[in-house]
Structure 1
Amino acid sequence: MGLVALAWCGAAFGRPLTVVKAGEPPALVVLPAQPNEVSRYAAEELVYHIRRATGVTLTVVREGREMPAGGARLYVGDTQAARGAGIDVQQLAREAFAFRAVADGFVIAGSDEGGEALDVSVAAGTLFGVYEWLEEVVQVRWLWPGELGTFVPIHATVVADVPDAIRAPHFVQRQVRGGLTFKSEHPTMGFSPGALEDYAHAQAVYLRRHRMGRAKNLTYRHAFTDWWEKYGAEHPEWFQLVNGKRGPTAPGRSYSMCVSNPEFQHKIVELWRERRAKDGSAASHYLNAVENGIMGLCECDNCRALDGPQPDDFLDYYARTSKMMGSHCVTDRYAKFWLAVQAEARKTDPDVTLVVYNYFNYYYFPSAAITLNDHILVGSYPSSGWYPRSPEENEWFRRQWQGWARTGAKLFSRGNYCLDGYNMPYVYAHQFADEFKFQVSTGMVATDYDALTGQWSTQGPNIYLLMRLQTRPDEDADRLLEEYYGAFGAAAAEVRAYFNYWEAYVVTQREHTSAVFDDMKASRWRSWAKVAHEVFPAASFTPAERLLAAAAAAVKDDAEAAQRVEFLRLGLVQAKLCSRVAGLLTLADPHATPERGAAALAELAAFRHAHEREWIGNFNHSAWIEDASWVWPAAKSNQSN
């Protein structure tokens, strides 16, 4: 994959550099004569955080213009100073950056592309270098979007040793999908349009600060969603055979492909060759063969002949209500399909990499007879295994990952776990971190998590580890959480106890939670609000409220820390309101009526309206879940599980 391992610590350091010190001229930030958007924005971010830390606003100048009097120079981007120091940004790996001491200051210069600095598809090495420097030198931490979530320790003086190093992100791709596409049928329950726009921008800034991006332009999605319309009439044999019929089982339904069909395999490669000839981009080295978002269902003799032996424990850790129940393990047929497509594509490009998912009834690892290779990139996509897990369940999921790693394929995490939890204080931070580190230790090369539901005030530890481990994969989870808690000042111990309470609660309620979801026919990602009152009853909030009251008392003389504690309290208020509404309006209760929950629903809507610009959570995502969970005044087509 052409990965460059990132040595975050232990770099060689040069002479000390004074950036800001009382009585001395502050440093100047120097940009290239014609800076690109990335370096310009990197300078803005540097100035912003130094001002937050010291109260001093650094002056930004461009090379080739008259320099005002100042202290050291902080050269940002592809400056002449960088080139004079031997940094050729064109020779750096995509997204890599260099730190280099020079006679009058130091250089941060990286591999950048033209385009918007906040666009995660744009290489932003210089920006990543600035963030790295801010973390290491100024100890900046980004807890959640917005100013309140940006923790910048106060410094009277900033004196930094200048590292001489070249660094690049650990993973070829770091992606957490933004969760901004969820739309509710009840706009009053979500963001107003202006607030949504501002929230989206604040979240984009936050994601970039955590170095979301990609060193390779991977291209993948469910690849065949429009194929029935395009090719179904002429080539029905390319599509699933179910109950003697080719194609979708009903109009508009998703469908899988007849992956054993050689003509279908050749068509995939033919279309890839056409795109490759047309655009000639680096992305053409990747061939998307991701099946549609459905189980592999084809029952034809040729597909069945490719299947391996059925594992005894194939369905042991799926809910009894899962669509997987009664399914047939088809992993081997998909592995053989990928190899066949790859063999054909290699006639054009020997270095082509096939991007695929393991999914539903081909998530279980292949039989021992299957050998893949490092030019098959598998997105590990479990459709079960929500956190927290039992030890036995956890071991089963690890065995699946290890089984795929043994095939020789490259793996990336494509889990949907982050969709769990609604806006409740559903904390599973340590188990997530353990799994992440296990995957890193067994060869994970990229990430793609779906999706960031943005429940910052109730699920902060989950999200913080999700972000920080992608730039610090070897770091201890508890040490990273101490960074998070430390931003609450004198209330750090109380905030730690608060989230520890919720994590212990979620773990001890694991079996009850699973049973409730089964009994009430609710989805962990779509209709969580059907069961919120059962998983988080009113009594569960009382100990948490006491802990936050103690936290507030501890920081009564620290305005910023007090605001952060209040941020957590508001998230708890919303969760408690939502639990109450769920008990009155849940679709799981045949006696629920809109009238029964009208007053509580109005109180929740008023709360969200009053706090929609404090970013305590993504209100649109919560409202989308509520659409499919509660009884509303008018019947709706999406009131399903």
Structure 2
Amino acid sequence: MSGLLLMMTMWWHTAFSGNSQDINLVHEGKSAYVIVVPAQASKAEQRAAGIFRNYIEQISGARLTVIPENEYHTQPAVFIGQTDHSHGPEQIKGEGYFIGSEAPHLYIRGGSGQGVVYGVYHVLETYMGCRKDAGEPAVVPASRDIRLPGQLHDLQEPAFLYRETYYPASLDPEYLEWHGLHRFEDLWSVWGHSFFRIVPPDTYFNTHPEYFSLVNGRRQPLQLCLSNEQVYDLAVAYFKQAIAKHPDAGYWSIAQEDGPGACTCDACRQADAAAGGPQGSLIRFVNRIAAQFPEQRFTTLAYGYSARPPQHLRPASNVYIMLSTIDAFRQEPLATAPSAAPFRKNLEGWAALTPNLFIWDYTTQFTHYLTPFPDYAQLQPNLQYFARHGVKGIFSQGSGAAAGDMAAYNSYVQACLLWNPQAAVTAVSERFLRSYYGAAGPYIQQYLAALTQAVKDTRATLDIYGNPVRSSHDYLSAIWLKKYNALLDQATAAVKNEATLLKRVEQVRLSLTYTALQQSRFYGTADGGYLHPDGTIRAGWREKVRAFAAGCQRAGITELAEGGLSPEGYVQDWERTFSQPWIPSLALGAPVTLAHAFTPEYTPKGAATLTDGLFGNSDFSYNWLYTYGQDLIATIDMGSSKPLRRISLHFLQDARHYIFNPVNVTVEVSADGKHFQAAGEQSIPAGAEDYTVRIQPYLFPQPGVTGRYIRITARCPASLPEWRLVAGKKPALCCDEVSVE
């Protein structure tokens, strides 16, 4: 026996003399162990061994040697991968893993893919106290002794084949591996809305418009014409090249663009009629492509016009359907929410046609990432519902690379539930909050509970396209905001001397600050508004806006909404608001009578929006009177006859949201409210295709005119312009303030 081997053998007997049932992996900074991998180790097994060795060294200072199994003798070992020294179940489901021990040996095995890597991270967190709560460096305890139980039998298998939670933490590759997560970019070579990557309009539309959808009698680059043989040939050629370039890709997307415009040519219409809708030509097309590449897996979206399952048509065996939950509200579980009834029906219909179902789910408010969005209680029941219906994979879309409401928390809890929907979610939540927020954790837990309770008590609606103003009368009311802030005050006090933890609590507070700032635009001169009753800006308001932006920058927040403003842009937007001159309108606060109904979800103040002294900005949900598909006819009563010099108002154009300028605006004046005389008229020509958001002023000089009543008539376009024509949609009008001087 060599001197070194004799010394290690003596050390090993000493280390185990205390408890023969334990595995003393490291004792007093030294280890007798080696890491053993298969003689022909896979990349995943090699990586797993390297990760294990590096973390053991970080914890204890001991550096274990990695050897192939054909060089192993009899020393204590950590067997990583499918070695001949096997232990545990013969088969491991999917990317699952098994952790076993029979003193003195430790075994870490994985199923397919990265299972063995996931197993290593499970050992590090569960048995060695390491943590990776967010996209930050892992927390690694320091200890010169590492001891594990000697009779481990820990089998972990994922409930879903594909698991993705889309928050900033997922930009960290180690976070993904630590929590058994995926990314579209890693599994799909082509993912999401992919039609125009396969047949790009920039390349083909001018020369071959027939490749694209026929909508309202003309070819438009909205979707593809799926009955066109050349489109099929181009798609086959595209995938031949792409598959050769990326042979390891797991999935390939063939899916419609985000929006309407399904082709209505004779051939597509015939296919659709046979299958009960546009999903017919889509599934036929995807099946044809899939037949050319039987070894590949293709995905397509059941979304918008393709959400319903087809009749008399099944997806091919290598086609996966990704069904969207986009139309459901989030204050109730999807299994019971009335708003999710169409989704449930579609899910059951698709499940009857194919076992290959994925879900594209949503867990954030896309219009305002930072707005508190307490759907936390629905995370587990929704994933359990998906699992019961045989769903194989989940894309849980949060705020993406932008930090949204409780992004780190949502990501962590979702990751645990995507692996095991039956996990003890309360314990998972408490474990994260205690680890990530330290002494502030219990107060953050109370804050989340208060938000959840408020939604229930006020019967609030959680809309992924909502805003803080729409919720100002329920769970984001002034009374509730005060309660939330009080809880965060306690959280702040608990960690006031710990810079890292304090920064995390401050990031939570940004959601309440943002809510208050956004609501202040709506309140105006009332309590909670940014203006004094005389129209001057309240003291310190500019500083509040700038402090908020600075807090966002410290937290790494770069975007406040999907495709929305940066914190710097948000400050500039406020500066434009601050720079608007206050006009002491003769109509300020005057009652308004409307001939037609407004849209309440976008007009919280109702008719008073036209005389509250506040102007709108580029967001149509703030300070705009929104009327859908009908004229705006508003009569303002100023209380007494007054000499008039000028009447002004604004209209918003936002074609993306079907909001357009009126065709014609007329102003009439009356002394008695019955007999009106014309006081001005402007006709507005229809513009060319333009998706730029614009605010257009309209001025009506009134020299020498006296009146008590003013009637504004804005004629709504009879239909959407051809370039924005969508079945079932009508144009809307948005007017902000009728200012009278």
What is the TM-score normalised by the length of structure 1? 0.68
Alignment of 1:299-318 (within 5 A): 299-307=264-272
Q: Is the 8 A contact 2:488 2:505 kept in 1?
A: yes
Cα distance 1:92–1:333, how it changes in 2: closer, same or farther (>3 A)?
Answer: same
Q: Which runs of 5+ in 2 are unaligned?
A: 1-19, 577-616, 619-690, 695-733, 735-741
**Structure showing greater relative contact order (alpha-carbon pairs closer than 8 Å, 6 or more residues apart):** 1
Return the offset for 1:503.
1.5
Residue of structure 1 equivalent to 2:323: 380
Return the offset for 1:332.
3.2
Identify which of 229, 247, 259 aligns with 1:294.
Answer: 259
Residue of structure 2 equivalent to 1:502: 451
Return the offset for 1:290.
0.9
Deviations along 1:406-443, whole A, 9 cap, x unmatched?
22251112224345452233221121221111011111
The answer to whether residue 522 in structure 2 is matched with residue 605 in structure 1 is no
Residue of structure 2 equivalent to 1:264: 231
Residue of structure 2 equivalent to 1:206: 175
SS of aligned partner of 1:62: strand
Alignment of 1:106-505 (within 5 A): 106-110=106-110, 123-138=113-128, 142-146=132-136, 150=139, 158-161=147-150, 163=152, 169-178=158-167, 203-213=172-182, 219-225=190-196, 226-248=199-221, 255-276=222-243, 278-279=244-245, 281-283=247-249, 286-307=251-272, 332-343=277-288, 345-346=290-291, 348-350=292-294, 352-363=296-307, 365-366=308-309, 369-389=312-332, 391-418=337-364, 420=366, 422-451=369-398, 452=400, 455=403, 458=406, 461-487=409-435, 494-505=443-454
Return the offset for 1:130.
0.6
Q: Is the 8 A contact 1:18 1:72 kept in 2?
A: no
The answer to whether residue 557 in structure 2 is matched with residue 625 in structure 1 is no
Distance 2:318 2:561 in 1: 39
Deviations along 1:109-167, whole A, 9 cap, x unmatched?
5579xxxxxxxxxx5343211122234434655433335x8597999863224546876
Point out the structure with the larger strand share.
2
Q: Is the 8 A contact 1:99 1:166 kept in 2?
A: yes
Cα distance 1:165–1:504, how it changes in 2: closer, same or farther (>3 A)?
Answer: closer
- Between structure 1 and structure 2, the one with the greater Rg is 2
Distance 1:258 1:129 in 2: 47
Distance 2:68 2:233 in 1: 56
SS of aligned partner of 2:195: coil
Return the offset for 1:246.
0.3
Alignment of 1:35-114 (within 5 A): 42=48, 46=52, 56-63=60-67, 72-76=76-80, 83-85=83-85, 95=95, 97=97, 99=99, 101=101, 105-110=105-110
Distance 1:64 1:268 in 2: 45
Q: Is the 8 A contact 2:329 2:339 kept in 1?
A: no
SS of aligned partner of 1:448: strand
Aligned length: 535
Which of 493-502 and 213-222 deviates more?
A: 213-222
Return the offset for 1:500.
0.7
Residue of structure 1 equivalent to 2:509: 573
Return the offset for 1:308.
5.5
Amino acid in the other structure paired with 1:160: P
What is the TM-score normalised by the length of structure 2? 0.60
Distance 2:136 2:225 in 1: 48
Q: Is the 8 A contact 1:495 1:548 kept in 2?
A: yes
Cα distance 1:167–1:497, how it changes in 2: closer, same or farther (>3 A)?
Answer: closer
Q: Which runs of 5+ in 1 are unaligned?
A: 1-14, 113-122, 180-198, 249-254, 310-329, 518-522
Return the offset for 1:550.
4.8
Deviations along 1:141-198, whole A, 9 cap, x unmatched?
5433335x8597999863224546876644332223455xxxxxxxxxxxxxxxxxxx
Point out the structure with the larger helix share.
1
Cα distance 1:539–1:620, how it changes in 2: closer, same or farther (>3 A)?
Answer: same
Return the offset for 1:531.
6.6
Cα distance 1:151–1:336, how it changes in 2: closer, same or farther (>3 A)?
Answer: farther
Cα distance 1:502–1:404, how it changes in 2: closer, same or farther (>3 A)?
Answer: same
Residue of structure 2 equivalent to 1:547: 487
Return the offset for 1:245.
1.2
Residue of structure 1 equivalent to 2:518: 582
